[in-house]
Amino acid sequence: MAERTRGRRTALAGMAALALLAAGCGDGEEVGAKPDLPTEPPALWNPCDALDTDFVAKQFGSTTTKQAGTPTSPECRFVPEADSGEAVLTANYVLFPGTLEAAWDKMGQPDDADVRTPKIARADDARLVVDQTKEQLYVTGFVQNGDLIQQVDVADPAPYDAKRIVRAVEATLTVLSAHAADNDATQPSESPSKSPSPSSQG
């Protein structure tokens, strides 16, 4: 059980580790002149721009409320009613000037971790970490498009359908990858245009 818990914590801490790696990439470089600050804060990338509650209901079977934050303080959470027993989904991103494989090697995983490499359309790379306990299922997915790495975390209490949740996370990564590719999101600090929500496509 200790090994499984450590594996789950490693997966859920993945984005924080990537952020630290990204922050350290400029160490040792000479600091240039301070740039002019914009008069208004720039829009930030938000994975929630590509997702909606209909998509989450269809893929995960969860009736949720979408929490997307604000343009200058984005977040992405799909939260079901308390005690509903339904899956919770969160998404985030980081800019990382390297490959997901290189970042993955630096983060490390326990030897018995269930790590998968799904094929995600239009993505450079992707990873899934699946951790099943008697009480809960945890699935974390990463998808890379250029310098943009997006992360999806899902927690689903028992009884759960692990195969369905894994498929749903892969579907979510596919939507996020397409949205990133369609919006040239290798530089998400620039305000992206919104593409149609996944529930309205096809």
* CATH, domain range 2-23+45-189: 3.40.1000
Taking only the tens place, the pLDDT of each residue in 86-99 is 999 999 999 988 99
Cβ–Cβ under 8 Å, residues 118 and 128:
yes
189/118: higher pLDDT: 118
User: For residue 97, how far is the Cα from the chain centroid?
Assistant: 17
Write the Ramachandran bin of 156: left for phi over 0, alpha for psi from -120 to 50, otherwise beta: beta
* Predicted TM-score (pTM) of this structure: 0.78
Residue (of 42, 44, 95) closest to 69 by Cα position: 44
Mean pLDDT on 48-63? 98
Residue 143 structure tokens: 């998808």
Q: What is the DSSP string of 172-191?
A: HHHHHHHHHHHTTTTSTTS-
pLDDT at 79: 98
Sequence spans of domains, the chain:
2-23+45-189
pLDDT at 13: 52
Mean pLDDT on 28-32? 41
Taking only the tens place, the pLDDT of each residue in 66-79 is 999 988 889 999 99
Confidence of residue 9 (pLDDT cuts 50, 70, 90): very low
